[in-house]
Amino acid sequence: MTQAPRPGPPLWLLAELTYRCPLHCVFCFNPVDFAQRDSELGTEDWLRVLREGRALGAVQCGLSGGEPLLREDLETIVAEASRLGYYSNLLTSGVGLSTQRAAALKAAGLDHVQLSFQDSTREMNDFLSHTRTFDLKSRVARIIRDQGWPMVLNVVLHRMNIGHIERIIAMAHAMGAEYLELANTQYYSWALVNRAHLLPTHEQLRHAEEVTNAWRARLGERMRIFFVAPDYHEGRAKKCVNGWGSMFLTVAPDGTALPCHTARMLPGLEFPNVRAHGLREIWFDSEGFNRFRGTAWMQEPCASCAQREQDLGGCRCQAYLLAGDAAAADPACAKNPEHHRVQQAVRQAAERVPEHPLVFRDRANSRRLTPGA
């Protein structure tokens, strides 16, 4: 195989500090087998990872989980990120962000907080997360504003909340959000388990986009709304993680370094651990990061496709999950002979009542769904 092109530095270092989380979201992007992976890097290891990431050239640092506020050393980690000159982002459910903790994180230099809501209604928010957190999140939104952080809200969209789109945007506006990310569900991990419940119809999506565009026209720059389009409905593959090993370097709680947060499930690929390898070596030289860089690895129909530089073959994890081959074209693409799998899933979700109940993300379900666990 032709060698993968030498990449530039990663723009983002994504530190998944823990898989522990008080919520039980049905679309959680953490691995379904998270309960098998309890090990977490200690504080010193995270500080070293931050230093190595910055030396490599990363400028953005995402602190996520699970719920990163469950780490008692979060302030120490944030302070080091700030000292190193990263722009730091905390991605949180809000659980654990008291006024005191927010002040400590601000003093440590945290630049940005992204708060997730599951819905604009208490009933659906609390149902989808299997926790009573709607009122808490509303209080946390005020705490974020009081600290002077930009107000950034994130809502994952799917069939169970997309009908509330008008209310979701109005809620974000009323809370004084500067940015609202409406992220259509990506079907990996827990969302794939629950796909029959979560896939919206074409009509629901069209309506949601119309409502979003009407609000955009009304609010202009006062609140920027990002509508992350769903690849299942578009017939086009997305340039996942902006290209494998090109922008994001994710470090899982146990120290495994990954080009995307679900890549560990791909068979036949080894991903190095930061306990044993430096980030520079991992980024430039590891087999796992090089395997799907560029276009040389592609099979047909991607190899001769005029779009191959634009979408870079789509998502490797989705190709594996839906077509059984991580090197195959992404079935979201209409040019792929396997595209009927995606169309069938959308059609069935619209026509049939799901055969199994929703599966909430928790340790018992993780063990139940993990083969051999």
Torsion of CA 307, 313, 315, 320, to 10 degrees: 150
Among 160, 252, 260, 321, binds ligand FES (CB under 6 A): 260
Burial class (CB in 10 A: 0-12, 13-18, 19+), 236: middle
Quick one: which of 18, 256, 262, 290 contacts ligand FES (CB under 6 A)?
262
- Count of alpha carbons within 13 angstroms of residue 75, beta-carbon side: 12
CB of 326 to ligand FES, least distance (A): 8
Site stretch for ligand FES (CB under 6 A), options 57-65, 257-265, 277-285, 354-362: 257-265
240 binds ligand FES, rule: CB under 6 A? yes
Out of 241, 323, 333, 349, name the contact with ligand FES by CB under 6 A.
241
CB proximity list for 202: less than 8 A, separation 6 or greater: 233, 346
Comparing CB distances to ligand FES, the nearer of 151 and 321 is 321
For residue 116 the two structure tokens come to 């997730």
Parallel, antiparallel, or unpaired: how do β-strands 112-117 and 12-16 relate?
unpaired
Number of residues that bind ligand FES (CB under 6 A): 9
Q: Is 260 marked as binding a ligand?
A: no
Compose the 279-318 pattern: x for residues touching ligand FES by CB under 6 A, - for all others. ------------------------------------xxx-
For residue 189, state whether it binds ligand FES (rule: CB under 6 A).
no
Rounded CA-CA distance 6/246 in Å is: 10
Q: Which of residues 199-238 bind ligand FES (CB under 6 A)?
A: none
> Closest distance between ligand FES and the C-beta of residue 314, in Å?
8
Decide whether 66 or 94 has the Cβ nearer to ligand FES: 66
Q: Is 91 in the site for ligand FES (CB under 6 A)?
A: no
Amino acid letter for position 251: V
Q: 372: which 2 tokens?
A: 């051999």
Nearest approach, Cβ of 248 to ligand FES (angstroms)?
10
Q: Which stretch binds ligand FES (CB under 6 A): 81-89, 133-141, 258-266, 348-356?
A: 258-266
CA dist 371 and 373 (Å) reads 6
Nearest approach, Cβ of residue 16 and ligand FES (Å): 14
CA–CA distance, 369 with 373 (Å, rounded to integer): 8
- Strand ranges (DSSP E) for the chain? 12-16, 60-64, 87-92, 112-117, 151-157, 179-184, 224-228, 248-251, 257-258
Provide, rounded to whole angstroms, the least separation between the CB of residue 105 and ligand FES.
29
Tell me which residues touch ligand FES (CB under 6 A). Answer: 188, 240-241, 260, 262-263, 315-317
